[in-house]
Amino acid sequence: MTEQTNTARSLLAVAGDVCSRVCSAVEGIDDALARIQRDNPSLNAFIAVDGDRARHAAAVLDQRIADGEDVGPLAGVPLAVKDTEDTIGYATTFGSRLWANAPVATRDSVLVGRLKAAGCVVVGKTNTPELAAKGVTDNPLYGVTRNPHDHERTAGGSSGGSAAAVAAGMVPLATASDGGGSIRIPASACGLPGFKPSLGRVPDGGPDPVDWLDLTTRGVLTRTVDELLAVLDVIVGPEPTDLRSLPVPPVPWTVAIEETPRPARIGWSPTLGYADVDPDIVVACEAAIERLAGLGIDVVEIPVVFDADPVMTWATMIACYVKRSVGDRDLDLMDPTVRGFVEMAAHVTIDALVAAEDTCHSLNLRLVEVFDRCDLLLTPTLAFDPERLGEEDVRFVRATYPFNMTRSPAGTMPVGTSPAGLPIGLQIVGPQHGDLTVLQLMREIERIS
């Protein structure tokens, strides 16, 4: 068992010091680059780093501050970008040999553009499974990303490189995305807070259509909920090129959360009605729920949320999306698991795809019934410890994808440690557009843990 030390400073402290000129953005970037050089060889979180580009961007930022400009609330914060997201000067390979020779991007994605406009400095790109289509981060192009808490375990996926980079203290902020749990799974595996906003809160947009249509949402990974809130205030809001994007919140979330009431009643579903869960994980989650009950929150147990595991319905949708991305490229170059989605898509009829969309509606109707009884739904984020490298046991990721299908806001918070020394996450799911209620309870859990 090995564990990476994490002594990196808060992104809020970094931004405050850079803005007040206590330290320079260049110094902060140099520190991040040194941490990456020291820790990345053992974790393989980053697949590309451009120190010269990052130092130049930081120097420009320092000069703007010296000239009296307002450079944004995240001034000088080192940023890692998941390798499914465009950022100027880096190729976007999607963790795939099919895109190994992709040209460097000449534009930033909407998410990266907003973060850079707020003062962030990109230091590199992080690893992801091919086309972000697995719950573990490995691929034939860049290899496996290891968990900072145990190098023989996965960091989760698909934002595993981003989660490992933040959890290990290489950077305080990384972009992420979640189409089936890809923020919550690695956040839980690496001991971080993780939050999948309501669909459309953090827009996609740009010249290309959204890859996974009504399932995937963009987001970020940070080390604390307060950091997460500060970044969300920068990245939420409408984008005219994204058909799904939602209006800007009337009040910044860092302000509104102070007026958001604590939930009066929470539902607790250990298995959602279909998943086997490690008893040690249930015990840790129930201990956190008992602490919440001690604050006066009522708890109601909900043994069955869904009558059956919707994984095959989710997989039907994903298969079609992956097939669209791959087109007529050479399948022999692909990860066999991801190639399986492409092969599956050949047998999906139009009727089957429409039926899958209809199932999303049915699942949401079940959640409407749940939220008639409680304000939030809590479940274990992962059913088992993150799998060991080389294993193919996907049972540990059975609790996240339903809430992509329902478009629900959903977060995860670390609430304990398993007997194997791995972090345990508690998943918090909210009703439609109930993002602030989820974030409020995440912050409450962080305070009492």
Residue 125 β-bridge partners: 48, 81
- Is 395:386 a contact under the CB 8 Å cutoff? no
Find where tokens 């060991």 sit.
Answer: 388
Q: Which of 159, 244, 232 is nearest to 438 (CA)?
A: 232
Q: How many residues does the chain have?
A: 449
**Which pair of structure tokens corresponds to residue 399?**
């609790």
Structure tokens that stand for 81 in this block: 């970008």
Cite the active site residues: 82, 158, 182
Q: Among residues 182, 190, 183, 184, which one has the least CA distance to residue 43?
A: 190
* Amino acid residing at 101: N
89 within 8 A of 181, measured Cβ to Cβ: no
Backbone angles phi, psi at 175, to 5 degrees: -75, 160
**What is the largest distance, in Å, between two alpha-carbon atoms of the chain?**
61
Q: Do the beta carbons of residue 266 and residue 289 sit within 8 Å?
A: yes
Measure the CA–CA gap between 321 and 326, rounded to whole angstroms: 9
3-state secondary structure of 207: coil
Identify the bridge partners of residue 121 per DSSP, sorted by sequence position: 78
- Report how far residue 84's alpha carbon sits from residue 109's, in angstroms, rounded to the nearest whole number: 10
Are 135 and 167 spatial neighbours (Cβ–Cβ below 8 Å)? Answer: no
Burial environment of residue 16 by CB neighbours within 10 A (0 to 12, 13 to 18, 19 or more): middle
CB 408 within 8 A of CB 399: no
